[in-house]
Amino acid sequence: MDVVVVGGGQAGLATAFYLRRAGLTYVVLDEHRVPGGAWHHAWSSMRLFSPAEYSSLPGWRMPPSTGGNPDADHVVDYLAEYERRYEIPVERPVAVHSVSRVAGGFLVEGMNQRTGEHVTHRAGAVVSATGTWSRPFVPAYPGRASFLGRQCHSSHYTSPSSYEGHRVMVVGGANSGAQIAADLAPVAEVCWCTLDELAFLPDEVDGRELFRIASARVRGDEGAGGVAGLGDIVVVPPVRDARDAGLLVRHEMPERFTRAGAVWADGTTLEFDDILWCTGFRPALRHLDGLDLPREGAHVATDGPRVVSEPGLYLVGYGDWTGAASATLIGVGQWARAAVDDIVAHLDHGAVSDRGDTARP
């Protein structure tokens, strides 16, 4: 086979779209039981930053949503239909645990989570599109482990129902922190703690403008930055409402945590029932550990989606370090296409691939 794609979320599907168009043989291995990737784990009030028509994968526009920007269920339905529409061969639920170099390409090994069967594929190229959801990040803080209340990462937050009447510390000054603080504020006593001052985008700016800025930067037009930084908080309606009601007040991070709460540098002590960590994610790349890929700073060294040290290996959709706006629905397509263009050249230049063992899409 020509290509194995690891991960069947939006990045894996966008890659599959271009692989199909290029006439390559491929399979997508996805650990989830059902289509939709990380969108299954979004909290119930989450809405996209942009309208449906600005949230589409290549080839087929996301159908319009009712009542504002699409919610996560709308995205899941779209991704499931996208898979059907382009007859993308996804094997589920297959968790890939290793990718190794073999003559002519790579050996990809995993396990079918339902049957326990060992799954192996050989391919001339591998695209990793495993996202970040399975690797939530919680920073080390003094005393954090001693806190006796509940601690939860945003990856497992679903709704405010189990927080009613609680004193909740929400940690993190990016979009998930803002949206979850806004979600909780009407029913809980929220103390929103962030490392830096809050940076809200102007109210009228949404994901469309962020995509425009990211695209301009890809073209090398640094002056097109316009209104703000790409990581600033998008003022979606629930965030705007909570902010305007005075419910979103920022506090500095405490100096340390205690069994009952936290202590600040000026001696202030507060007690909490819960801490909600909205502190981001790391790329889910453990299946590549055996390749011992060289790093550049915090990440594997890449040039766009191409892994610099390993011809035939690509990382799609992990964030700006694998391509500007690549972690968004509208932005991932251009990087999926770049990866597939590169794969076509790579396979044409002598890598051996076994084209006999998979149906050509």
Ligand X SMILES: Cc1cc2nc3c(=O)[nH]c(=O)nc-3n(C[C@H](O)[C@H](O)[C@H](O)COP(=O)(O)OP(=O)(O)OC[C@H]3O[C@@H](n4cnc5c(N)ncnc54)[C@H](O)[C@@H]3O)c2cc1C
Residues lying near ligand X in the complex (CB under 6 A): 6-12, 29-32, 37-39, 46, 48-50, 55, 95-96, 129-131, 133-134, 175-176, 179, 207, 284, 287, 317, 327-329
Q: How far is the CB of 271 from ligand X (least distance, A)?
A: 28
- Looking at beta carbons only, is 93 or 254 nearer to ligand X? 93
Q: Which is nearer to ligand X, 23 or 231 (CB)?
A: 231
Nearer to ligand X, 239 or 343 (CB): 239
Considering the complex, state which of residue 51 and residue 104 has its C-beta at the smaller distance from ligand X: 51
> How is residue 96 written in tokens?
């890939």
CB of 351 to ligand X, least distance (A): 23
Residue whose entry in the numeric block shows the structure tokens 């981001």: 280
d(CA 192, CA 177): 8
Strands 26-29 and 3-6: parallel
User: Least distance to ligand X from the beta carbon of 30, Å?
Assistant: 5
Q: Least CB distance from residue 240 to ligand X, whole Å?
A: 15
Nearer to ligand X, 261 or 333 (CB): 333
- As measured in angstroms, the least distance from the Cβ of 142 to ligand X is 27
State the alpha helices, DSSP H only, in 51-109.
Answer: 72-85
Residues facing 57 on adjacent strands? 60
Of 216 and 263, the one with the shorter C-beta distance to ligand X is 216
Q: In 10 A of CB 97, how many CB atoms? A: 15
Look at residue 254 and give its three-state secondary structure: coil
Strands (E) in 231-331, as ranges, are 250-252, 256-257, 261-263, 269-271, 274-277, 295-296, 299-300, 302-303, 306-307, 313-315
Closest Cα to residue 169, out of 258, 242, 236? Answer: 258
Give the nearest distance from C-beta 145 to ligand X in angstroms.
25
In Å, how far are 74, 102, 332, 345 from 55, measured between CA atoms?
Answer: 11, 38, 10, 29
Q: How far is the CB of 10 from ligand X (least distance, A)?
A: 4
Q: Return the SS3 of 213.
A: helix
The nearer residue to ligand X, 160 or 317, going by C-beta atoms, is: 317
Q: How far is the CB of 211 from ligand X (least distance, A)?
A: 9
Find the shortest distance in angstroms from Cβ 279 to ligand X.
11
146 to 143, 150, 210, 267: CA distances (angstroms): 5, 11, 40, 19
**Closest CB to ligand X among 18 and 39?**
39
* Closest CA relative to residue 25, chosen from 320, 357, 313, 255: 357
| Nearest residue (CB) to ligand X, 262 versus 285 | 285
Three-state secondary-structure class, residue 297: coil
213 alpha-carbon distance from chain centroid: 19
Sorted by sequence, the CB contacts under 8 Å of residue 93 that are 6+ apart come out as 30, 31, 32, 33, 112, 113, 114
